[in-house]
């Protein structure tokens, strides 16, 4: 698919949104939900339900689902991020048999949206590509992650720990707060990147005598097909993409489960950082009530918090938070964040029509 703008040519994105390949209005009105992450971007197309509907289904019927690469402009640049978002929306409409005229609302929930200027940038990318009746909403990807566990309600806290990490909270009266999520340079230490970067550092320290020997050396070198720690330096700097580094987390977990003290300490540090991010948000928003014992949902999302049955990072994080906030109610979503984004779009649209 041609998706890039070249010398003023109309992109395939614009052709499809104009009905060039979509096949008309056979499926009726639709909503698009986009979960744009550092590792991948997912767009779902779901049927539009009339705002007078009192309740959304637990899992809206899925007309189409499309996945592509990173859409975080801080990671891949603005051009690549825009093109990825264009690609998934165009393909989702095409696969669903729909077109531009059927779209009622879109929620682009994208990592790297950290300031109103980030929101405006993405709105500017797409506002002129859609007619005025289409409602566009841009949020951080944490909003879609939370909504995937609360079925579209922006209330509570979400902890995302994948390639990056962030804790984000929302109150019923519209206040919000975040902790972490500033990228690897500024310290997403509980993230997949943070865990793996510490493991790579530990290997180099063990190799040159500054640190203790660790099972991480043989495990990660074998995973990467390298023969020595010296080769690890070249591998690391040949491609510093965040997701590539973060993919080493399973090796770190395996070493910790095998009794390696260095790997275990890295995971313990990760647990403390992730728990600290959540408690910072809970304190700022008062999600736990005035006595600190009130209940609040904590939606858990991301590869670092999934699996790992032997060394359960997610459970350790919950245990840590529960010491200070016994009312925490962990939620593992039954739908993916892109569905959460679609639910947000529906709720935003309903609220706007009720005003």
**pLDDT tens digits for range 204-217:** 999 999 999 999 99
Residue 6 has pLDDT above 80, yes or no: no
Average pLDDT, the chain: 88
Mean pLDDT of all residues in 92-116: 92
Burial class (CB in 10 A: 0-12, 13-18, 19+), 156: buried
Please tell me whether the overall predicted TM-score, pTM, comes out greater than 0.75 for this model. Answer: yes
Residue of 141 and 273 predicted with greater confidence: 273
Instruction: Look at residue 27 in the predicted model and tell me its pLDDT.
Output: 63
Quote the pLDDT of residue 28. Answer: 85
Residue 45 predicted with pLDDT over 60: yes
Between 88 and 19, the more confident residue is 88
In angstroms, rounded to a whole number, what is the distance separating the alpha carbons of residues 175 and 181?
18
Higher-confidence residue of 279 and 114: namely: 279
Q: Where are the strands (E) in the chain, listed by range?
A: 30-36, 41-47, 64-68, 103-110, 135-139, 156-161, 165-170, 176-180, 296-301, 328-331
Sequence-distant (≥ 6) Cβ neighbours of residue 98 within 8 angstroms? 22, 23, 25, 26, 27, 30, 45, 63
Number of C-beta neighbours around residue 104 at 10 A: 19
Complete DSSP assignment for 283-300? HHHTTT-TTS---EEEEE
Q: What's the rounded mean pLDDT across residues 58-77?
A: 88
pLDDT for the residue 58:
62
Q: Name all domains of the chain by residue range, CATH numbers in brackets.
A: 12-139+336-354 (3.30.420.40), 192-324 (3.30.420.40)
pLDDT reported for residue 189: 82
189-195 mean pLDDT = 93
- Tell me if residue 44 falls in helix, strand or coil: strand
Evaluate if residue 3 carries a pLDDT over 80: no
pLDDT band at residue 238 using 50, 70 and 90 as cut-offs: very high
pLDDT in tens, 122-144: 999 998 888 888 999 999 989 99
Listed ranges 124-138, 186-200, 266-280, 306-320; the one with the highest mean pLDDT: 266-280
Q: How many Å apart are CA 267 and CA 270, to the nearest integer? A: 5
Report the pLDDT value the prediction gives residue 177, as an integer from 0 to 100: 95
DSSP SS3 for 71: coil
- Say how far apart CA 123 and CA 117 lie, in whole Å: 10
Task: Give the pLDDT of residue 13.
Answer: 60
Residue 190 has pLDDT above 70, yes or no: yes
């Amino acid at each position: 698919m041609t998706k890039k703008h070249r010398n003023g040519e109309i992109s395939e994105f614009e052709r499809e949104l104009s009905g060039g390949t979509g096949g008309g209005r056979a499926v009726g009105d639709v909503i698009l939900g986009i979960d744009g992450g550092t590792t991948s971007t997912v767009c779902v197309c779901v049927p539009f339900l009339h705002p007078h509907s009192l309740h959304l289904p637990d899992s809206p019927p899925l007309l189409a689902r499309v996945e592509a690469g990173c859409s975080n402009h801080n990671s891949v640049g603005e051009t690549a991020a825009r093109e990825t978002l264009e690609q998934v929306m165009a393909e989702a409409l095409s696969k669903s048999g729909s077109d531009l005229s059927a779209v009622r609302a879109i929620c682009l929930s994208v990592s790297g949206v950290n300031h109103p200027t980030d929101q405006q940038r993405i709105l500017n990318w797409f506002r002129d590509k859609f007619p005025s009746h289409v409602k566009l909403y841009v949020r951080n990807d944490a909003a879609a992650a939370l909504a995937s566990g609360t079925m579209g309600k922006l209330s509570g806290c979400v902890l995302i720990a994948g390639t990056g990490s962030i804790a984000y909270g929302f109150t019923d009266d519209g206040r919000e707060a975040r902790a972490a999520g500033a990228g690897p340079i500024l310290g997403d230490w509980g993230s997949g990147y943070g865990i793996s970067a510490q493991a790579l550092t530990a290997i180099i320290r063990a190799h040159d005598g500054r640190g203790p020997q660790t099972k991480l050396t043989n495990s990660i070198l074998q995973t990467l097909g390298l023969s020595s720690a010296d080769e690890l330096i070249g591998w690391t700097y040949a491609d510093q993409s965040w997701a590539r580094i973060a993919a080493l987390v399973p090796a770190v977990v395996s070493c910790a489960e095998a009794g390696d003290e260095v790997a275990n300490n890295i995971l313990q540090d990760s647990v403390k950082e992730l728990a600290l991010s959540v408690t910072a948000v809970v304190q700022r928003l008062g999600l736990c009530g005035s006595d600190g014992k009130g209940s609040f949902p904590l939606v858990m999302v991301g590869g670092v918090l999934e699996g790992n049955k032997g060394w359960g990072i997610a459970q350790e994080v919950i245990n840590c938070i529960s010491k200070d906030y016994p009312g925490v109610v962990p939620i593992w979503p039954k739908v993916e964040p892109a569905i959460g984004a679609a639910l947000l779009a529906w709720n935003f649209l309903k609220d706007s029509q009720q005003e």
